[in-house]
Amino acid sequence: MKIAILGFGTVGSGVYDIIANGDTRMRVTAIFIRPTHPATMPEMTTDLDAILNDPTIDVIVETMGGLHPAHDYILQALQHDKHVVTANKAVVAKYLPEFTAVAAQHHVQFYFEATTGGGIPWIRNLERAARIDQIDTIEGIFNGTSNYILDQMQRAHLDFDPVLLAAKDMGYAEADPSADIDGEDVVNKLKISAALAYNMAPPRDVPTFGIRNVSKADIDFFASQHQVLRLIGKSKRDGDHYSMVVEPRLYSETALAANTFENFNLIRLHGQTIGDLQFYGQGAGKYPTANAIVQDLYDILENAPHLDRSFDQPLHFDANLNVTDYVLRADPMTFAMFNDRETEIVNDRLVIKQIPTGDMHKLMRGVLAIDADAFMAAIGDSELAAKDVLHQRDQEVIG
């Protein structure tokens, strides 16, 4: 099987390394680079048309990232009857139904294991579960960069900025880390996961609040309550309604999520007959992500088809499907926005009881208009025990 790689950055070079030192049935014969990139290998070319029109190339691996020109390149590859494997979560989250339909029309495969969970075999196992079960919950730590930051802030007692700088130095964070710390990376991964689980086209907008505003004082306060903060993506289905949200969430210090350290991911699904399945592992990095791409290449090589989805289930998005407690740190003058809710002030923070998720995120936009540095987190996982722990600690603080 002859392969062309589009883009030769961290992931693309990782794919090349694994193939070059692995199965002789696979060979990279072309590497597409931008004209500004020096051609340092004989396989490198700036001529995309030559790759598309080369009948000996079976598969195109797209590792360029971003929406454009990746969208056009993937479509052209599929239309030239070439299988496509990608790690590009942004383009898959937006165009998954289109890519899948075009691939089917041209009798080729479009695979994207590496988009979600890095080296964790999440997509493949989600597909296997969805063949049998109706999946009703997807949630977890989908982003290694944000998890590294929150973990180091708590365990090393550091503030946000120096930890973010360290994450950049270690290669966990990009020069512009906005997608990671503002939650957009998790949104894309959650959209892909929910589309597969529910067989529907994901919504355009998802309630999202990241960790940009979290402070050491916040982390210290949560630790005093025996709670650990994680950035979580969660989707829930109930009948023909479903929800999606990305937000910081507090867990008991004994919970699995609280003990997922460094840049690791922990992702869970729940199905009617399989129950809970949890997946843990390296969520990012050169070789974990490249490994996931090569796994997809093996599936193409060995003719192992993935789950066939039409993404046409008529489900209704409901941002208020979930109801939970939130803790808010903000200018006290914003607390009046929640006067019609049951609330409690703990250590200068407002705890809002049993508020629908969509309503909380709408109100938070108003809070941020007054206090741009405000921060919020959901409390627990809708499990009574998790809420009771925080309530008990709140009472101790008040007392």
State the DSSP string of 68-131: TTHHHHHHHHHHTT-EEEE--HHHHHHHHHHHHHHHHHTT--EE-GGGSSTTS-HHHHHHHHHH
- pLDDT band (50, 70, 90) for residue 389: very low
Strand order in the sheet with 59-62: 44-45, 27-32, 2-6, 59-62, 83-86, 110-111
Q: How far apart are CA 278 and CA 262, in angstroms?
A: 18
Indicate the residue among 281, 310, 330 that finishes a domain: 281
Q: How far apart are CA 208 and CA 221, in angstroms?
A: 23
- pLDDT band (50, 70, 90) for residue 283: confident
pTM given for the model? 0.93
As beta bridge partners, residue 351 has 327, 344
How much is the average pLDDT of 184-197? Answer: 98
Residues 106 and 128 in one domain: no
- CA R_g for the chain: 22
Residues 97 and 229 in one domain: no
Q: How far apart are CA 151 and CA 288, in angstroms?
A: 20
The answer to whether residue 350 sits within a structural domain is no
Domain CATH for 126: 3.30.360.10
The answer to whether residue 102 sits within a structural domain is yes
Q: State residue 226's pLDDT score.
A: 95
Looking at the chain, how many residues does it have? Answer: 399
The answer to whether residue 399 sits within a structural domain is no
The DSSP symbol for 266 reads E
Residue 237 burial by CB count (10 A; 0-12/13-18/19+): exposed, middle or buried?
buried
The answer to whether residue 217 sits within a structural domain is yes
Residues 43 and 171 in one domain: no
Residues 29 and 103 in one domain: yes
Q: How far apart are CA 268 and CA 177, in angstroms?
A: 25
Neighbour tally for 132: CB within 10 Å: 11
Q: State residue 366's pLDDT score.
A: 98
Candidates 2, 94, 168, 189; catalytic one: 189
| Better-predicted residue by pLDDT, 81 or 398 | 81
Q: How far apart are CA 376 and CA 124, in angstroms?
A: 34
Indicate the residue among 233, 264, 281 that finishes a domain: 281
Share of the chain above pLDDT 70, in %: 95
Residues in contact with 271: Cβ distance below 8 Å, sequence separation at least 6, in sequence order: 129, 130, 132, 133, 134, 135, 136, 277
Among the residue ranges 74-83, 146-155, 167-176, 215-224, the one predicted with the least confidence is: 167-176
Residues 261 and 168 in one domain: yes
> Token digits for 102?
């075009």
| Torsion (CA) 107, 108, 110, 111 in degrees, nearest 10 | 120
68 backbone φψ class: left, alpha, beta (φ>0; ψ -120 to 50): beta
Residues 96 and 190 in one domain: no
- pLDDT band (50, 70, 90) for residue 354: very high
Indicate the residue among 89, 110, 131 that finishes a domain: 110
Q: Please, how many CA atoms are within 13 Å of residue 368, restricted to the half-sphere of its CB?
A: 12
Does residue 208 have a pLDDT over 70?
yes
Looking at this protein, which amino acid is placed at residue 205? Answer: D
Domains contained in the chain, number: 2
Residues 133 and 212 in one domain: yes
Q: How far apart are CA 77 and CA 16, in angstroms?
A: 19
Residues 266 and 148 in one domain: yes
How much is the average pLDDT of 70-77? Answer: 98
Does residue 51 have a pLDDT over 50?
yes
Neighbour tally for 226: CB within 10 Å: 16
- pLDDT band (50, 70, 90) for residue 66: very high
Does residue 222 have a pLDDT over 60?
yes
> Token digits for 188?
């894309």
- pLDDT band (50, 70, 90) for residue 393: very low
β-strand pairing of 227-238 with 241-252:
antiparallel
The answer to whether residue 303 sits within a structural domain is no
Does residue 118 have a pLDDT over 90?
no
Residues in contact with 170: Cβ distance below 8 Å, sequence separation at least 6, in sequence order: 148
Domain CATH for 88: 3.40.50.720
The answer to whether residue 50 sits within a structural domain is yes
The answer to whether residue 89 sits within a structural domain is yes
- pLDDT band (50, 70, 90) for residue 381: low
Residues 177 and 48 in one domain: no
Residues 68 and 148 in one domain: no
As beta bridge partners, residue 264 has 282
Q: State residue 24's pLDDT score.
A: 95
Residues 133 and 171 in one domain: yes
How much is the average pLDDT of 314-338? Answer: 97
Q: What range defines the domain where residue 247 resides?
A: 120-281
Q: State residue 380's pLDDT score.
A: 74
Does residue 358 have a pLDDT over 90?
yes
| 387 classed as catalytic | no
Residues 66 and 157 in one domain: no
The answer to whether residue 19 sits within a structural domain is yes
Does residue 394 have a pLDDT over 60?
no
| Torsion (CA) 385, 391, 395, 397 in degrees, nearest 10 | 110
Q: State residue 391's pLDDT score.
A: 47
